[in-house]
Amino acid sequence: MLKKIVFLIIDEGQSDSIKKLKKKIDPDDKKIFYGNLNDWKEGMEGCAEDEILFVTDSSIVLRGLKQRGDFVVALLHENNRSEDLSGASYAIADIEELSWDSFEKAYLRMAGKPWTIMETGRCIVRETVVGDVEKFYDIYAEPSITYYMEGLFPDPADEIEYMKKYIQEIYGFYGYGLWTIVHKDSGDVIGRAGLSWRPGFDMPELGFLIAVPYQGKGYAYEVCSAILGYGERELGFGKVQALVREGNKASAGLCMKLGFERKGMTEDKGIWYERYVRVLNG
């Protein structure tokens, strides 16, 4: 969990922008430190080193923080263009326009922790972690789950490696994908849902899967409605498709309930699907 953002800034010309940011997102003066470079450790009581995100405009400071294993973001401005800040995983500019959420997402990505994408009445939708794979095998063990969709790798070790790459390459590049659904009350993983791109198609695709014990209780509609709203508001999608295997009446019915329209049949990798399309902001 991110508790503190520490600005270690060499260029004093950035002072006004940082103070405006601090006023906007840290009115209680508890989350952001900006001051003398030698005094930043003051006020860090109760805050572990792995709960701090550093922001610097100095290549020397950046290298020192990286060597210590700290999480650090580079600040780019017109006065440090000659600085080599390529070692930073993330770089920011126009800091007055940023929010706490922007910094927290960068911190979580560097810390290898999942983003919480949204909450619904009964569920939390978050990025998948490797630890979810074991639960996925329990969910996919029900024969009806894989009757209309592809299953997991036979060897869990292969699925774990696939998930590691997915987290790094899909979440890390796109910022979205297929997510994990967690039940708020029990903390159980009850399914997967999200937005992704199928090769050869011109719009993102909604995918969803709910564990058998939770089916028929409105969880898929609850979560997918929220995901479609997120796709429109946060990702700027105008249209979303859903591909449903022939005979999968439950998924077809859900698509219709979500406002999708059937657009005929389409083929992918030798399998035929009913294609449903939902206009989000048209």
Per-residue model confidence as pLDDT tens digits over 12-68: 999 999 999 999 999 988 899 998 888 888 878 888 989 999 999 999 999 999 999
What is the radius of gyration, based on Cα positions, of the chain? 22
Q: Which amino acid is at 216?
A: G
Beta bridge partners of 279: 239
Outline which parts of the chain fall under CATH 3.40.50: 4-111
Query: Is 108 within 8 Å of 90 (Cβ atoms)?
Result: no
Span 77-121, pLDDT tens digits = 999 999 999 999 999 999 999 999 999 999 999 999 999 999 999
Give the distance between the most distant pair of CA atoms in the chain. 67
CB-based contacts of 279, cutoff 8 Å, min separation 6: 238, 239
Outline which parts of the chain fall under CATH 3.40.630.30: 116-279
Superfamily of domain 116-279: Gcn5-related N-acetyltransferase (GNAT) (3.40.630.30)
CA 75 to chain centre: 22
First CA to last CA distance, the chain = 38
Q: Which fold has domain 4-111?
A: Rossmann fold (3.40.50)
